[in-house]
Amino acid sequence: MAEVLLKIDGIVKRFGGLVALNQVGLTINKGEIYGLIGPNGAGKTTLFNVLTGLYMPDEGSFTFDGTNLFRAQPHVVVGTGIARTFQNIRLFKEMTALENVMVGRHIRSKAGALGAVLRDKGTRAEEAAIRAKAQELLAYVGISDVADEFAKNLSYGHQRRLEIARALATEPKLLALDEPAAGMNPRETEELKALMEKIRASGITVLLIEHDVKLMMGLCDRIAVLDYGKKIAEGVPEVVRKDPKVIEAYLGVAHS
Ligand SMILES: Nc1ncnc2c1ncn2[C@@H]1O[C@H](COP(=O)(O)OP(=O)(O)OP(=O)(O)O)[C@@H](O)[C@H]1O
């Protein structure tokens, strides 16, 4: 039996009169790559924002690894083990690649603000460990050669990898990636696919939003399809791709 990592039920998110998420429920099992697809405006990013504490859902339930995260704040969500990247890359542009990852790592460090000011022996040792771990993560995502470059000077593909390294620095159980292949060329997309498979093989569960349906079909263990805020299908890729409701949503047939 698959072990459930994340479970939401009956999630509703409204923006004024617009119901962006309408009674959405899904479960993500430990160790799977779970994809979220759907036409523009279907509610994918809104769901990500709910799952990472950026948006407070209006109704429903949300548990993660046995912890109730319904309406939890983002830092609580990260602390419980969910890390994410953003559709629009959000790096600290004036910091180096290495520093960006070190920031992500600080959430797991023990030395508090006082330690950082006093810079005592314990804090210095911890800083060195954080630096070493950050270097390791840059190597892991394949960009250690640009460790000392400012984030703003990195190529698009490298920036996306850096975001993933920074998210991994928080030691997540679930890594949520919002359109990581957007703007990538076919070679970069292939490399990204290999990276995601490597991440999953290391024991981290992956949740993915992507418009590249071909990539999703070849990568995901299971896929959920959102349309107008509702989950219209969920299952293994071969079944989802043949589902008439999914075909209709993608072909843009008028809704009754
Ligand atoms: N902060 C907000 N305020 C008001 N409406 C919002 C807000 N965020 C999202 N929406 C609306 O909620 C709906 C779902 O948007 P969302 O960005 O989640 O869709 P999406 O599936 O991620 O789309 P895309 O593929 O284009 O990124 C849209 O109608 C959008 O305009």
Is the CB of 180 inside a 6 Å radius of any atom of ligand 1? Answer: no
pLDDT at position 231 is: 97
CA 43 to ligand 1: nearest atom? 18
Prediction pTM value: 0.90
Half-sphere exposure of 35 (CA within 13 A, CB side): 27
Is the CB of 45 inside a 6 Å radius of any atom of ligand 1? Answer: yes
Positive or negative, the Cα torsion across 122, 124, 128, 131?
A: positive
C-beta separation of 45 from 255 below 8 A? no
Is the CB of 38 inside a 6 Å radius of any atom of ligand 1? Answer: yes
How far, in Å, from the CA of 145 to the mean position of ligand 1? 37
What CATH class does 1-81+172-256 carry? alpha beta
Beta strands in the chain (DSSP E): 4-15, 18-29, 33-37, 59-64, 67-68, 82-84, 174-178, 205-209, 222-227, 230-235
Is the CB of 41 inside a 6 Å radius of any atom of ligand 1? Answer: yes
pLDDT at position 152 is: 95
Q: What ipTM did this prediction achieve?
A: 0.95
H/E run at residue 195: helix 186-201
Confidence band for 116, pLDDT divided at 50, 70 and 90: low
C-beta separation of 229 from 24 below 8 A? yes
More confident residue, 113 or 88: 88
Place of tokens 């023990």: 110
Is the CB of 172 inside a 6 Å radius of any atom of ligand 1? Answer: no
CA distance 65 to 63: 7
Is the CB of 15 inside a 6 Å radius of any atom of ligand 1? Answer: yes
How far, in Å, from the CA of 49 to the mean position of ligand 1? 10
Is residue 111's pLDDT more than 60? no
The burial class, CB within 10 Å (0-12 / 13-18 / 19+), for 112 is exposed
Top mutation candidate among 24, 46, 212 for ligand 1, by most atoms within 8 Å of CB = 46
CA distances from 161 to 53, 68, 86, 153, 191 (A): 23, 30, 12, 14, 10
Top mutation candidate among 12, 14, 18, 19 for ligand 1, by most atoms within 8 Å of CB = 18
Residue range 127-166, pLDDT digits in tens: 888 899 999 999 999 999 999 999 999 998 899 999 999 9
For residue 149, the 8-state DSSP code is: S
How far, in Å, from the CA of 42 to the mean position of ligand 1? 7
> Where in the chain is CATH 3.40.50.300?
1-81+172-256
